[in-house]
Amino acid sequence: MQTSGKRKENKAKEMSRSQTIAFFLRGSVRFFVIGVILSLLVALLDMIGPKIVQYTIDYVLGDEAGPTAIAQAAITAAGGREYIRTHLYIPAGIVMLIAAISALCRYLYRVFSSMGAEKLIRRMRDELFAHILRLPVSWHAQNHTGDIIQRCTSDVETVRNFLSEQMMTLFRVGILVGFGLFFMISISPALTAMSAVFVPIIIGYSVFFHNRIAASFLKADEEEGKLSSIAQENLTGVRVVRAFGREQYERERFETQNRGYTRMWIRLMAWLSAFWCSNDLISGSQIMLVIAMGAVFCVHGRITVGQYIAFVSYNGMLLWPVRELGRVISDMSKAGISIDRIRYIMNSEPESLRTDTDESLGTEPLDIVFDHVSFSYDESTEVLHDVSLTIPAGTTLGILGATGSGKSTLIHLLDRLYDLPDDGGTITIGGRDIRSMDRHALRKYIGLVLQEPFLLSGTLAENISITKPGEPDMDAVRAAARVAALDETVSRFTDGYETYVGERGVTLSGGQKQRTAIAQIVMADTPVMIFDDSLSAVDTQTDARIRHNLRERTAGSSVILISHRITTLMQADNIVVLDHGRIAEQGSHDELLAHGGLYRQIYDIQTSY
Ligand SMILES: Nc1ncnc2c1ncn2[C@@H]1O[C@H](COP(=O)(O)OP(=O)(O)OP(=O)(O)O)[C@@H](O)[C@H]1O
Ligand SMILES: [Mg+2]
């Protein structure tokens, strides 16, 4: 794993395709090099078998004159011509031995290339995951989760196949064809020419065909994506589907999509079958031509019987790999798209966690000042306009405002989940611009209960003590749960604090989740605590109890409370009323009531029944 500083250097310039590949190949390239060496060995060994058969037929069984020096040496080494004639199992045994060594090399080739492939894919997943974790929230808001997952799974798979299978096949077949052609030419250049004429035809036809149907494959992938998103939507939204009685509609939607998808694959398969049949025809013609012309050459004495048999073996040996090559070359074009999709993630600028002026913010609350803060998520609509407010150290600020008035945005800016542009005013803590602060230190200083809390898979205790590494300190967990009025609820669970929550655990109610999130922040015990509408899902009595507990527990900390309920905020030292991203009023509860503005109106409505 790289240090963040080093990674930052990497990010300074965008990685090109080849740089991306080189980056991911670090650590696995040696396995692929061994794989290439092994395939060289396999190709060489495969060439020897037909040669032995040829020598045996021509010089041992037959009376061909003038064996080559190599053939003569081999025959002598095996015991001489007469001896081999009466002991024919010798050449047969050698052929089998070579086949066995070749099989062993093939096995090792597979082992090494799979090791390379697995190491490669592990590195890709690790690097992508680490990088995605560091990308800003705004990046995540712009990119669909499904798409990101697709890039991290099927695109990663495509790139892995490209490097570990397609590139390796290219090397393997290249070596095999090179050796094969050499041996074939040494037997008969004319016959080799006839055989080789078909090679570009077979590869060209295959590339042409696969390129033609590439669009259909892409479409089939998209259709599959649509099908799974219907299924996924129905699984996650099962309650909505049931509540609105949409089962029939959803079923038909799924069946229509499924029907279209099936039809598409049937058509694709028909095309593929046609391709393979025609390809078989071309290859079959090539074999027949070589056999027929070889026989003619043989009869005319241009080649010997042994050479004829060896030639036909070499030809057969090359045909399949050449056909494979056509498919691989066309598949390789897909890898480019996948690499680009992965590069998009790797080249996205991550949040910088460390800055040069890195220093801890300490454990004491400091004054927080928003100075003429304006912000928009996109260029068109400004969400906050010229907001200026001060939260003196150790005081409580209440923020009231209609939905969409910018309350959450304000605190997301303070926590640097979104960054304030240079011309958008300043936010300072203890007089220091938060832009110059280390995000990690900032987030350790500010405890934030998000409006939509999310629990990670694990036990309740692990979730509550999420900010403390290591085994949960159960006394502290219990104390935090008591403050959040969660202790009674937990005592009703059979497993208590060991209850498993999160994706595959017990489903907590909205209020229980909120209170768990409050307990998390209480446990973190940060100098600044922010509660974004964190008491919305609890009844007024529990709300009052939690606020009472919090006041005791957070005495001395700066607190920001966001709520739609005036009772939740009224004890705050200062209350800000946000209206369409502007501060409409601010002051204490009594001041605001006396002022008779928006706050007063909301108060009257909330207390009138
Ligand atoms: N990630 C985002 N991208 C674009 N626009 C956003 C984003 N988040 C919020 N907005 C918009 O910004 C405005 C303010 O949203 P914000 O979440 O700050 O409101 P809020 O006051 O917290 O509302 P609520 O009381 O409903 O939580 C809204 O109009 C919303 O549509
Ligand atoms: Mg909000």
Clarify whether residues 23 and 62 are in a common domain.
yes
Residue 8, pLDDT > 60, answer: no
Atom of ligand 1 nearest to the CA of 412: 18
pLDDT, tens digit, for every residue of 450-480?
888 888 888 899 999 988 888 888 999 999 9
Clarify whether residues 470 and 536 are in a common domain.
yes
Cβ atoms of residues 433 and 427 within 8 Å: yes
Does 73 fall in a domain? yes
Clarify whether residues 171 and 204 are in a common domain.
no
154 CA → ligand 1 middle, Å:
33
List the single range of 11-20, 68-77, 559-568 with lowest mean pLDDT: 11-20
Does 320 fall in a domain? no
Q: In total, how many domains does the chain have? A: 3
Distance, in Å, from the CA atom of 215 to the CA atom of 116, rounded to the nearest integer, reads: 30
551 CA → ligand 2 middle, Å:
22
Clarify whether residues 563 and 590 are in a common domain.
yes
pLDDT for 320: 86
Clarify whether residues 171 and 247 are in a common domain.
no
Cβ atoms of residues 416 and 498 within 8 Å: no
Clarify whether residues 263 and 382 are in a common domain.
no
389 CA → ligand 1 middle, Å:
20
Q: Which ligand is nearest to the CA of 400?
A: 1
**Looking at ligand 1, which residue's alpha carbon is closest to its atom 1?**
141
Q: What is the mean pLDDT of the chain?
A: 88
Q: Ligand 1 pocket: which residues have CB below 6 Å? A: 141, 377, 383, 401, 403-409, 451, 533
For the entire predicted model, the pTM comes to: 0.78
377 CA → ligand 1 middle, Å:
9
Q: Of 46, 44, 73, give the one whose Cα is nearest residue 59.
A: 73
Residue 192, pLDDT > 90, answer: yes
Does 330 fall in a domain? no
Clarify whether residues 170 and 196 are in a common domain.
no
Centre a 10 Å sphere on the Cβ of residue 420 and count the other Cβ atoms it contains: 20
Q: Which of 145, 374, 377, 382 to mutate to test the pocket of ligand 1 (most atoms within 8 A of CB)?
A: 377
Clarify whether residues 64 and 149 are in a common domain.
yes
Burial class (CB in 10 A: 0-12, 13-18, 19+), 363: exposed
Atom of ligand 1 nearest to the CA of 409: 18
Clarify whether residues 522 and 383 are in a common domain.
yes
Atom of ligand 1 nearest to the CA of 418: 1
Burial class (CB in 10 A: 0-12, 13-18, 19+), 245: exposed
What range does the domain containing 527 cover? 368-607
The CA-based angle 206-116-207, given to 5 degrees, is 10
Does 226 fall in a domain? yes
pLDDT for 219: 84
Does 307 fall in a domain? no
**Looking at ligand 1, which residue's alpha carbon is closest to its atom 19?**
404
Distance, in Å, from the CA atom of 449 to the CA atom of 339, rounded to the nearest integer, reads: 38
Distance, in Å, from the CA atom of 350 to the CA atom of 139, rounded to the nearest integer, reads: 9
pLDDT classification of 504: cutoffs 50, 70, 90: low
DSSP 6-65: HHHHHHHS---HHHHHHHHHTTTHHHHHHHHHHHHHHHHHHHHHHHHHHHIIIIIIS--S
Q: Which of 400, 409, 415, 582 to mutate to test the pocket of ligand 1 (most atoms within 8 A of CB)?
A: 409
Centre a 10 Å sphere on the Cβ of residue 167 and count the other Cβ atoms it contains: 19
Clarify whether residues 201 and 133 are in a common domain.
no
Residue 125, pLDDT > 90, answer: yes
**Looking at ligand 1, which residue's alpha carbon is closest to its atom 30?**
404
Q: Of 289, 306, 65, 303, give the one whose Cα is nearest residue 193.
A: 289
Does 8 fall in a domain? no
452 CA → ligand 1 middle, Å:
13
Does 7 fall in a domain? no
Does 322 fall in a domain? no
410 CA → ligand 1 middle, Å:
10
Clarify whether residues 387 and 451 are in a common domain.
yes
Mean pLDDT of 481-492: 89
Atom of ligand 1 nearest to the CA of 407: 21
